[in-house]
Structure 1
Amino acid sequence: MHHFIDVLLPIPLQKAFTYHITKAESEFLEIGMRVAVPFRKSKIYTGLVYKIHNNPPTAYDAKTIHQILDDQPVITKSQLQHWEWIAGYYMCSLGEVMRAAMPNAFILESETIISKNEKVEVKDTELKDEEFLIYEALQYQSSLKINDVVSILDKKRVLPVINSLVEKGVINLQEELYEKYQPKLVRYVKLHENHKSEAKLQELLEELSRAPKQREVVLTLFSMEASERRPIKVSELTDRSGASSSIIKSLIDKTILEEYHLKTDRVQFDGEGDADTKQLSEAQLEALDSINSIFEEKPVALLHGVTSSGKTEIYVQLIQKQLELGKQVLYLLPEIALTTQLVQRLQDYFGDKVAVFHSRYSGNERVEVWHNMLKNSEKAQVVIGARSSLLLPFNDLGLIIVDEEHEQSYKQFDPAPRYHARDAAIVLANFHKAKTLLGSATPSLESYYNATQGKYGLVELNIRYNNVLMPDIELVDLADKYKRKRMKGHFSDRMIEEMAETLDEGFQIILFQNRRGFSPIIECTTCGNSPQCPNCDVSLTYHQYRNQLRCHYCGYNSAMLQNCQACGNPTLDTKGFGTEQIEEEVKVLFPDKKVARMDLDTTRGKYGFEKIINNFEQRDIDILVGTQMLTKGLDFRHVKLVGIMNADNLLNFPDFRAHERSYQLMAQVSGRAGRTDLRGKVLIQTYNPHHNILQQVSTNSYKEMFAEQMNDRYNFKYPPIYRLIKITFKHKDYNRVNLAADWYAKSLRQIFKANVLGPEFPPVSRIRNLYNKNILIKISPNQSLGKTKEAILKIDNSFNAVKDFRAVRVVLNVDNY
C-alpha cells in the first residue's frame, strides 16, 4: 500500500500537488506541518501538508519529499478553514493565501538569500557544528543562497539548520532590514523636594550667594516652574539662564536639582494614576451594556461613536472580559501609525499579554509572534495588528475588534489574496464562535446598511468623553478669497488668523493636504508641456527636498529639469501643491515655530511614525502637516486647530465612493481637534462651500449623508445593494489588452447581460509600462454569488486556453471597495 500527501505550495496553483511518502512518514506527519519538496526541475519549496491519503495522482508520477521540517503543525485546523474561505470568496488560490499568511522565514525556497545579522555577538560555543560551518562561511561572504548551504554542508536537508540559526538570531533572511529606533530620552529637571518651600528656598539662595551662576539657574528654574505647569527640559533651562551644562551638573550633584528622564509618555499634571483607574462615563457604560446585550443575540455589533467619544476605553473593558474567560482577542487597526500609539495604551492595561504583528516587523519578530500563538502562550492573548494579523494561528478567539472599520486600508489590492479584513474578520469570528465589534465615527455605508437591516446590532455614542464639545467647523470660500486678494500662498486670511491665535495660546495645529511632494504638476509657461513619467500615464511630482521629479505610481525619479524638454525655455512653473509646499509656506508665515511633515516620504523606516508622533506629543512640534495618515484615530491632547487645505480634490474624484470617503476623511480629520476641555476649531478651504457633503460634515450629520448616498447607490446599482467584481487586464501591448478585454466582456455579457460594465480604461491607464483595462460586474441582491463566481472562473479558464491571451494578466478583485 502506498502513502501520499497533498502539499500546498506558496505559488498560484489551481490545486495542491501530490507527493509520495513512506509508511513511517505517513504515521508521523500531520496536516499543517511543513515539508520541503522538489517542484519543477531543481527548485525546492517549503510546502504545507494539506491531506494525507492513499490515492496516487492520475496525471503524473508523484515525486518523493525531501524532508519534514516540523515536529508539530505550524498552522491550525480552523486557520486552514479560514484560508479556504478566503481563497474561495476572493477567487484566488490557497497557495497565495498561504504566502500572504506565513512569515517569510517559514517559506524558504532554494533562491532565498541568507546574510549575517551584524547586530548579534555570537559565541562559537553556542553553535552546533553544522551551524558553525555556515556562520564561518558568512564571515568571508556577505550572503549565501540555500543552494550554497547545501554544497557547504554536503547534504540536502539544510532547512532545519537554517531555521535554528534564524531562531538564534544569528542570520537574517532576505528581507528589508529596518533600523531599531531608540526613543530619545529627554532630560528634565525640577527643584529637589527639600527646597520647595519659601523658607528653604531663601536659605538656599543665601548659601549660593557666592556662586552667582548657580543662583541664577535656581531662580530661573523656580520662575519657570511657577509660570508654566509643565516639565522643564534641561536644554530649556540652559537656554533661559545662560548657564553651561556643567553648572547644572554640579547642582544635580549637590542634590539641589533633581533630574529625571521622560520617554514617550504624555506628561500629565492632573495626577492620572495607574492604568486601571479610568472611570467610564455614563454614556460609555450604556454603550458597553448595549454591546454586551447585542452579543447575546447577534455575532456582530457596530459601535458608531463620534470622534474622541472614548471608544478605546470601551474596547479595553471588552478585552478584559474575554481575557478573564481565557480567550484571545484580535484588535485590528487600519494603519501601522495607529498601532504605535495604541500598543503603549494597551500595554499599560494588559502588560506583556499584548503581541503586535504588522509588516514593518522583521521576519524574526514575526516568527516569534507566530510561535507564541501556536503555543497559546501568555504573551499572545491580545494581538494588535494591521490586516495581515487576521491570518495568524488563533487557538481560542473570543472577540475581534475592527477599529475604524470604514478605512480603505483594510482592503488588500495587490498581490492576491485581495481580501477585505473587516469582512474576513467576521467570517473568522464565526469559525471560532466569537463576536465581532466594528467601531467607527464614520461607519462605511456597507456596515451601517447591515445595521439598519438588522443583520448587525447598532450602538450609538453621541457624546465626546468628558462632554467635550464637538469642534466648530467653518468653511472658507477660496474663490471669494482669491478674488478679494486675501490669500498668502495657499493660506486664506482666516486660516492665518486662526493659526496665529492658536499658537499664541500655546496649542498645536494639524494641517491636512492629500498630496505628498511639493507640487503635483510642473508646467512650461511658454508651450504648456509638462514632464510625464516614462512608464506611467501620469505627470511627475516635484519633490523639493531632494530636488527631483518622482512618479508616485512606479517610483521613477529624475533630477529636476532646468529647461522645458519640448521648447527648451527655462520657464518651468509649478501647479497645484503638496505637503512639502505647505510646510515651506508655514515656515515662512511662522518662522519661529517648529513645523514637521508626516507623509510617506518622512515615515519610511520601521520607526518613522514613532519619531514624529512622539515629538508631536511632547510638544516639540507646533504645526504638523500631513496626508491622510493623520486622519486615522490618533489622539493628541493639545491640538486646537485643524486646517483642511483643499477639500475639492477629495470630492471630485472619479469613483462612486468619492463622496462617502470625503465625508469620512474630513470628519476624521476634524476629530483630531479639541480633545480636551477646549472647543476645537476646524477650517475647511474649498471653492465649493455649498457642496452637500461639506455642509453635512460641518453639521456632523452622518445620517443625512447616509440617506442621500444610499439613494444614489440604489439608483445606480452599487454596493451595498449590488455586489461588485472588478476584472483588470494588464499587458504591455495596447492592442492585446483591448482584444483580450473585449473577448472576456463578450463572454460575460452572454451570461450577465446588462450588468457588465466596460471594458474601460481607468483614469491612469498605464502603470509601470503595462496598460490596464477594467470590466465591472454588478451582482444583484437576489443572484447567487457562488454561481456567479463559478461562471466567471469557467470563462477565465477558456480565456487562458487561448494562446494569444495567455500573456495578458487577469486580476479578479471581489468586492473591490
Structure 2
Amino acid sequence: MYYEVAISRASQVKTHFCESSEDIDSGERVVIRLNGRKCKGYVIGRTEETPPNSLNQIVERIDGYSFVDTTLVETLVWAGRRYNSPIGRLFDIAVPKCIDRYAVSTVLPLSSFIGLEKMPLRSFISKYGEGHLKKLIQSGYVKIQRIPMAKEPHPRLQNESVELCVTLQEALHVVKDPIETQVANYLFINDEVYVDDIVRDLGVSKRVLSDLQKKGLIRIGPKMQRVDEKNVLDDSLGFYLEQMKRDEILLLGSKSSGKTDLCIEMIRRTVQKGFSALYLVPEAVLVGQVSTRLKNVLGHLSVGIYHSYLSEARRAFQWIQAWKGKISVVVGTRSAVFCPLRNLGLIVIEHEEDESYYQYENPVYDAVEVARRRAKLSNARVVMVSTTPRLDHYKESLDGKIQQIELQERRKCSIRVLNTRKEKSFVAGDTMTFIRSTLKSGRGVIIVVRRKGYSPWIQCAVCGFIVECPKCDVSLSYHRDENVFKCHLCGYTEEASDKCPRCGAHALYPRGAGTERIEQHLKRRFASYELVRLDRDTVRHPQMVLEYLRKFERGEIDIIVGTKMITRGIDLDRAGLIVVMDFDGLLNVPDFTARFRTFRVLFQTVSESAGFESGTAIVQTYNPDNELLNHLVDLDVHGFYKEELAKRKEALYPPFTNIIQVVLKARIASKGLEIVNFCSEKLRSAGEHVLGPVEHPIFRIANEYRFHFLIKTDDVETSLKRLNEVLTESGKRGWKVLLNPPALI
C-alpha cells in the first residue's frame, strides 16, 4: 500500500509518497526515511496505484492509531492546500507534542478470549513478568501502545468558591512557591472558581489553598449563588432560535442584544442531543468569561478551555480530555479550531470579523474559514457572531448562501464627531468639557488611542529630520517613562536625546501623541481622579486588562487611557464617555481594506457605549466630512456595507475575487527586486492577473528588504499551483503567501 505523508515541522508545502505493508489509518503519526534521515510525519492519504514520484519507506508507526478523526484529517489537508501552508505543520498544531509527555505504554489485548484487560506496561510486567509478555506479543495476543493519559478530575471536595482577596500583583509579590503562583494566576484568569476546579485543573492539594488563605491572599467560602442560565433566554430570543434553519448562520446584533445568550442556549441544546460544541473567541481574555457562563449551564466537567496562555501540562490535559470524549464543549482561541472533539455538532465563532483568527505566519490559515470547512465535513452547524461581520460573509448572506439573522438593538448611544483642525491640544476643548462633566456625574471615561508610547515620532525643529530606526523604514517612537527611542517593529532601542543626528542642533521634539502622552496630559488636568494607562507596555498579560476593567466598574478607577485592547468584549456599564483620539491615522494606509477596517474598529469601539442609555462617544478628526463618519453617527452598518460592496465590485477586489499576496524578504534589495520581477512576469505569461511587484509599504524591517505583488484570481487552486511552480523555479526560499489576508500591511 502507498501512503501520502506530510512532514512534521516542514517549511515546504510538498508532501511525500511512502510504501508500507501495514494497514495505516489516515492521520497516524509515522517515521519515514527521507534523504537518508528519519523524519516524523502524518499519513494524509492512501492509494493502491503506484505514485509517479520516487518512493520513501515508512520505518515506524509511532502510535499505531490516529489521534484525529477522518473529518479533521480532511479539514487539515484542505486548510494546507487552500492556504498554501505545510500540511505537516498544521497537524503539529492539531496534535501538539506536549501530549507525548503524558503518554503511558499500555498493554492492549487483541482477543477477548485470553482473559486480559488493558493495563499499563509496568503494572503488567509486575503482575505477569516480562517473559510472559514477550510470549503473548509473539503469539499475537497483545500489543503495546503509548496512550496519552490525563489526570482524572478529583471527586468534589466541597462546593466552596475561591477568589483572590488582593490584586494579582500583590499576590505574586507575596508568594514564592511556583504552585502558589500558578494558583494565583488561575484565580485571576477565571471569573468564578470552585475548590474542585483548582484541584482538577492544576492538580494541587487543598493544603495549598489553606496556606494561601492563611496568608490572606484568597478567600474560601460558601458556594456562590449561580444564575440559572437555562431560564435566561427570553421569548424574543427564543423566536430567533426557531428561525435558524440553515447550517451556516451569520448572527448580527449589537453588544447588548443577547447574541451570547442565544449561542449558549444553542450549545445547551446541542449537548443535550449528544453532540459536542466548539466556541471560538479571538483573544484569551474572553475565554474565562464564556467558559464560566457555559459551566453554569453544563457543569464544570463538561467544559474545557484551550489557548496559548495555558501551561503545557494543562494544555495537554484539556486536549486529552477532548480526545477521550470527557468534555462536551471547548472554549478557545484560534488554534482550538483543530481540537479533537468527538461527534461535533456546533461551532460558534464569536467576533468572527476579528483579524486574530487569521494566522499570518507559517502555517498560514484562517480559523474562521477552517471552522466552516470542518463544520461542513462534520455535518455540524456553524454560527458566525458579529456586530460588524466580514464583508465576504455579509455578501454571502445577501446572496442567500448563508442565513443572516439580526437581533434588534436594545439601546443606542450618542455619537459626536469633533473637528480638530484648529485645535492646539491633542485633546480637543469640547472633549475636555465632556470629560469634566462625565466625571462630575460619577461616571467613568475611556480614551482610546491608536499608538502606545509618548509620541509616535521625533522631529528636529531646525532641519525637519525625523528619527528613524536604523534597521527598519519606520520612525522611532519616544517612550518617556523609559526615556528611550523605540522601534515597534524590530524592538530596536536607543537612549533618548535632543540632539539631531543630521544638523547637530539640540532641537529634537516629540510629535504626535501616544497613550503615554495622553495619560500625562489628562493627569495634570484631573489630578483628583484615578487614571490608569493600559497598553502593551503596562499590561504584561492580557488577563490583567480584566482586573483593571473590574476596578473601573466598581468605581475604583475613573479614567482609562489605552489602545483598542480595552474595548474587547467587556461590558462597561459605568462608562459615560468613550473618546477615539486619532481616527485619521487609521485611514491613511496604502491598503484597499483601510476604509472598511477603520469603520469596523470605530464602530466596535463606540458601540461599547451601547451598553448604557445615556452614554456618549466622541470621534476626533481632521476630516469631519468623511462619508464614513455619517454611517458611524447613524450606527448604519448595512448602509456602509452596501456602499463598500459597490466600491469593491467596481475595483474588482474581494469579495468579488480572491487576492493572493506574495511577499519576499531579501538581504540585498536589488537581488530581491530581480527575483520578484522574474516571478511576476512568469505568472503574467501564464495568464495570471498580477498587480506589482512594488516595494512593501514598510520596505525594510530588521535589515531585510520586502517586496510584494498581488494576484487577483477566481481559481485559487490553479493560481497557487502556478505560483508554487514559479517560486520553486526562482530558487529562493522564505516566501510568504497569504490568501485573502484581512490587511496587506
Match runs of 1:104-119 below 5 Å: 104-105=97-98
Give the Å deviation of 1:598. 2.4
Q: Look up the match of 1:368.
A: 317
**2:439, 2:558 within 8 Å by CA — same for their partners in 1?**
yes
Give the Å deviation of 1:715. 1.0
**1:582, 1:625 within 8 Å by CA — same for their partners in 2?**
yes
Flag the 1:480–1:87 CA change in 2: closer, same or farther, 3 A. same
**1:6, 1:52 within 8 Å by CA — same for their partners in 2?**
no
Report whether the alignment pairs 1:303 with 2:251: yes
1:742 to 646, 665, 677: 677
Flag the 1:653–1:73 CA change in 2: closer, same or farther, 3 A. same
Q: Look up the match of 2:375.
A: 429
Match runs of 1:380-529 below 5 Å: 381-416=328-363, 418-464=364-410, 469-482=411-424, 489-529=425-465
Q: Look up the match of 1:94.
A: 87
Give the Å deviation of 1:649. 0.8
Amino acid paired to 1:691: N
Q: Look up the match of 1:720.
A: 655
1:774 to 708, 720, 725: 708
Deviation track 1:775-810 (CA, whole Å, cap 9, x = no partner) reads: 11112xxx43333333333333xxx23xxx423532
Deviation track 1:745-804 (CA, whole Å, cap 9, x = no partner) reads: 111112336x3110011221111222111111112xxx43333333333333xxx23xxx
Partner SS, residue 474 of structure 1: strand
Give the Å deviation of 1:315. 0.7
Q: Look up the match of 2:42.
A: 48
Report whether the alignment pairs 1:765 with 2:699: yes
Aligned counterparts of 1:41 and 1:548: Cα–Cα separation in 2: 51
Report whether the alignment pairs 1:707 with 2:711: no
Deviation track 1:693-715 (CA, whole Å, cap 9, x = no partner) reads: 11110111112211211111011
Aligned counterparts of 1:7 and 1:697: Cα–Cα separation in 2: 48
1:335 to 275, 279, 283: 283
Partner SS, residue 251 of structure 2: strand
Q: Which has the larger radius of gyration?
A: 1
Amino acid paired to 1:383: V
2:227 to 247, 250, 274: 274
**1:8, 1:50 within 8 Å by CA — same for their partners in 2?**
no
Flag the 1:128–1:519 CA change in 2: closer, same or farther, 3 A. farther
Match runs of 1:180-191 below 5 Å: 181=185, 183=187
Deviation track 1:400-425 (CA, whole Å, cap 9, x = no partner) reads: 11111222222111122x22222221
**2:472, 2:701 within 8 Å by CA — same for their partners in 1?**
yes
- My pick for the range that moved more, 77-86 or 48-57, is 48-57
Report whether the alignment pairs 1:813 with 2:734: no
Partner SS, residue 181 of structure 1: helix
Partner SS, residue 266 of structure 2: helix
Flag the 1:261–1:343 CA change in 2: closer, same or farther, 3 A. same
Aligned counterparts of 1:164 and 1:438: Cα–Cα separation in 2: 34
Flag the 1:61–1:702 CA change in 2: closer, same or farther, 3 A. closer
Aligned counterparts of 1:181 and 1:651: Cα–Cα separation in 2: 38
**2:285, 2:543 within 8 Å by CA — same for their partners in 1?**
no
**1:4, 1:55 within 8 Å by CA — same for their partners in 2?**
no
Flag the 1:704–1:262 CA change in 2: closer, same or farther, 3 A. farther
Amino acid paired to 2:379: K
Aligned counterparts of 1:180 and 1:18: Cα–Cα separation in 2: 50
Report whether the alignment pairs 1:752 with 2:687: yes
Amino acid paired to 2:9: P
Aligned counterparts of 2:539 and 2:41: Cα–Cα separation in 1: 35
Match runs of 1:529-568 below 5 Å: 529-568=465-504
Aligned counterparts of 1:162 and 1:394: Cα–Cα separation in 2: 17
Give the Å deviation of 1:54. 8.2
Aligned counterparts of 1:263 and 1:673: Cα–Cα separation in 2: 35
Q: Look up the match of 2:615.
A: 680
**1:46, 1:107 within 8 Å by CA — same for their partners in 2?**
no
Flag the 1:340–1:619 CA change in 2: closer, same or farther, 3 A. farther
Aligned counterparts of 1:4 and 1:778: Cα–Cα separation in 2: 34
Match runs of 1:593-672 below 5 Å: 593-605=529-541, 607-672=543-608
Partner SS, residue 427 of structure 1: helix
Flag the 1:642–1:7 CA change in 2: closer, same or farther, 3 A. closer
Amino acid paired to 1:785: V
Amino acid paired to 2:291: V
Flag the 1:327–1:552 CA change in 2: closer, same or farther, 3 A. same
Partner SS, residue 437 of structure 1: strand
5+ residue gaps in structure 1? Answer: 109-126, 130-159, 169-176, 186-258, 483-488
Aligned counterparts of 2:680 and 2:182: Cα–Cα separation in 1: 45
Flag the 1:765–1:533 CA change in 2: closer, same or farther, 3 A. same
Aligned counterparts of 1:279 and 1:64: Cα–Cα separation in 2: 55
Flag the 1:736–1:263 CA change in 2: closer, same or farther, 3 A. farther
**2:660, 2:711 within 8 Å by CA — same for their partners in 1?**
yes
Flag the 1:674–1:623 CA change in 2: closer, same or farther, 3 A. farther
5+ residue gaps in structure 2? Answer: 102-120, 124-144, 154-180, 190-215
Give the Å deviation of 1:739. 0.8
Give the Å deviation of 1:373. 1.4
Report whether the alignment pairs 1:11 with 2:4: no
Partner SS, residue 725 of structure 1: strand
Report whether the alignment pairs 1:290 with 2:247: no
- My pick for the range that moved more, 785-794 or 394-403, is 785-794
Amino acid paired to 2:251: L
Give the Å deviation of 1:261. 7.8
**2:452, 2:515 within 8 Å by CA — same for their partners in 1?**
yes
Q: Look up the match of 2:158.
A: none
Q: Look up the match of 2:298.
A: 350
**2:648, 2:654 within 8 Å by CA — same for their partners in 1?**
yes
Give the Å deviation of 1:645. 0.9
Report whether the alignment pairs 1:786 with 2:721: no
What TM-score do you get using the length of structure 2 for normalisation? 0.80
Report whether the alignment pairs 1:70 with 2:70: no
Aligned counterparts of 1:580 and 1:490: Cα–Cα separation in 2: 12
Flag the 1:5–1:497 CA change in 2: closer, same or farther, 3 A. closer
Flag the 1:263–1:523 CA change in 2: closer, same or farther, 3 A. farther
**1:283, 1:463 within 8 Å by CA — same for their partners in 2?**
no
Aligned counterparts of 1:654 and 1:5: Cα–Cα separation in 2: 42
Aligned counterparts of 2:660 and 2:87: Cα–Cα separation in 1: 19
Paired residue total:
649
Flag the 1:273–1:601 CA change in 2: closer, same or farther, 3 A. same
Match runs of 1:13-52 below 5 Å: 13-17=12-16, 26=22, 30-35=25-30, 45-50=39-44
Partner SS, residue 475 of structure 1: strand
Aligned counterparts of 1:58 and 1:778: Cα–Cα separation in 2: 32
**2:255, 2:610 within 8 Å by CA — same for their partners in 1?**
no
Flag the 1:565–1:394 CA change in 2: closer, same or farther, 3 A. same
Deviation track 1:235-277 (CA, whole Å, cap 9, x = no partner) reads: xxxxxxxxxxxxxxxxxxxxxxxx998899xx9xxxx962326
Match runs of 1:188-207 below 5 Å: none
Amino acid paired to 1:181: N
Partner SS, residue 70 of structure 1: strand
Give the Å deviation of 1:305. 0.6
Flag the 1:507–1:344 CA change in 2: closer, same or farther, 3 A. farther
Aligned counterparts of 2:241 and 2:147: Cα–Cα separation in 1: 49
